[in-house]
Structure 1
Amino acid sequence: MDMTGRFMDAREALCAGLVSRVVPQGELLGAARELAGQILSRGRSPSGLPSSR
């Protein structure tokens, strides 16, 4: 991580491996929902969240 406190934009964070994907702001909610669906489809609770089963 950058320890200087300097702002890092999305592309730089992607190049540094701090994020796995960058999407336009208008597509953010859809991309987040898609990722949540992928996590939930694995049939287990995400770490730190109790199972609702």
Structure 2
Amino acid sequence: MHAFDAPGLPRTELPQYRERDGRIPVIGTDKEARGDALARVPAYLAARFGK
């Protein structure tokens, strides 16, 4: 799931999906990752599909 770029999604831990090494997945908006995605995705698409 890619929830880091969803606007306004609160940070939520998902212990029901705990990894074998004990890590607990976290979803929620990450401002830095969201900004990076919003900057990079259009460039990626333009490079592949032209614009």
TM-score normalised by structure 1 residue count = 0.34
Which structure shows the higher strand fraction?
2
TM-score normalised by structure 2 residue count = 0.35
Higher relative contact order (CA 8 A, sep 6+): 2
